[in-house]
Copies of this chain bind each other. A is one copy, B any other.
Amino acid sequence: MIAMPWVYIEDLSQHVGEEVELRGWLYNKRSSGKIHFLQVRDGTGICQCVASISDLGAETFAAADHMGQETSLRVTGVARADKRAPGGYELGLKSLTIVSPANDYPITPKEHGVAYLLDHRQLWVRSARQHAILRIRSEVESACRDFFSQRGFVLFDAPVLTPISCEGTTNLFQLDYFGERKAYLTQSGQLYAEAGALAFGKVYTFGPTFRAEKSKTRRHLTEFWMVEPEVAYFDLDDDMRLAEDFVAFIVGRVLERRAADLQALERDVTRLEAAASTPYPRISYDEAIERLKAKGMTVNWGDDFGGDEETALSEEFDRPVMVHRYPTQCKAFYMKQDPARPDVALCVDMLAPEGHGEIIGGGQREDDYETLRNKILAHDLPLAPFEWYLDLRRYGSVPHAGFGMGIERMTGWICGIHHIRECIPFPRMMERLEP
């Protein structure tokens, strides 16, 4: 047999009329007795392969009839355009070689429970729906990089192993560091990003972050990915403009490049299109409280918002809404108080539409040495581990602001997925550390 060029299904359109080789797995098949219609997937797409007994010979043709789902195979044939075929192209087979069989594949078209599917995550990621979600996740991450790269931000990786928490030690994973001391897994790269911003002007971190929270909601993972820009000389208004530009860019990118995946998920893209342009609405926390009260919800000034309040607020808008200036008492020590009104912080949360909750949290950071020092003490945190952070206010402090965006929540909203556990290849939750 002469070696054919190996091509990916996503590139088939460039090879119409040519004899090519596909390497993949059997996704589905049907047979008319004289002709097999094999749906072959290779990770980049699905291609219908049409085979007759005269093309394959009796032995191979018979073997093809007994291949189980996910059998790996190599096929050669001529690519042709066919509007009826899924993907628009099909292959008229000339040869078929089984690479490795698959019998009794554990994930069948029947309904499986989520726990079963998560137990088989290594195989579940091959299914059409998971494929679409994880391709969109990859696009979201790629869009994040491109947005910051185009704007001259330096990628400034923050450490995962840290000596202290930036928001208290309650929800921290801790580990033994060479039998000498404790280390903690980071909850946020922000403090380090601040050092980066004062060195490079504009930076972002992008990596896994960890919360040992004992919560089992659809919005929580113990390990999730965050992207966190930080910019010197930015105030809260600059920060909100950056945040809306960022989210609109990502949504626009996914709409443009992953339309087929959104369609596979049956996502109503009209719900996303509004979010691809700016500005986004901005309301103050004060106004949010009034709106919630007007809806009959029991909420008092000073309360932090939970999932119910976020959902109620987001329902009022067709695109993400930015809620700014929460009560200082709700927020972390590093948030800058509004000089005009010290009971509120110069912070912002962005809430995704349709009840997908907070996708961004951020704001302006306290840049005055004495004020920050006093706030650390007021939060009952030790000073020593924050001396390096205080240095950023000792030597040429400047106003600065930033935010963090959770990749899984962002992906979940874009995909219209209820539980974010499907938005990461191998989710980690309180009761799940496997596979």
Contact = CB atoms under 8 A, between A and B. Distances in A.
Complex copy number for this chain:
2
Nearest to A162: B433
B433 A161 contact: yes
Interface string A38-79: 000011100000000000000000000000001110000000
A322 to B, nearest CB: 22
A23 B398 contact: yes
Contacts of A210: 160-161
Nearest to A42: B201
A200 interface: yes
Given A207-B207, A396-B70, A44 B201 contact: yes
A195 interface: yes
A370 B283 CA distance: 62
Given A145-B145, A159-B428, A391-B123, A72 B208 contact: no
Contact of A183 (B23, B99, B123, B433): B433
Interface stretch (A82-90, A171-179, A244-252, A299-307): A171-179
A293 interface: no
A156 interface: yes
Interface string A88-113: 00000000000111100110000000
Given A145-B142, A152-B44, A177-B433, A222 B161 contact: yes
A434 B100 contact: no
A433 B181 contact: yes
A191 to B, nearest CB: 9
B105 A395 contact: yes
Interface stretch (A131-139, A339-347, A349-357): A131-139
Nearest to A385: B434
A122 interface: yes
B396 A71 contact: yes
Nearest to A426: B159
A232 interface: yes
A162 B195 CA distance: 30
Contacts of A424: 157
Contacts of A426: 158-159, 192
A31 interface: no
Interface in A134-150: 134-135, 137-138, 141-142, 145, 149
Contact of A214 (B26, B178, B397, B399): B178
Contacts of A208: 157, 160, 207-208
14 contacts: A25-B398, A42-B201, A43-B198, A70-B396, A71-B396, A100-B393, A120-B388, A120-B391, A121-B195, A158-B426, A159-B428, A160-B160, A160-B223, A163-B433
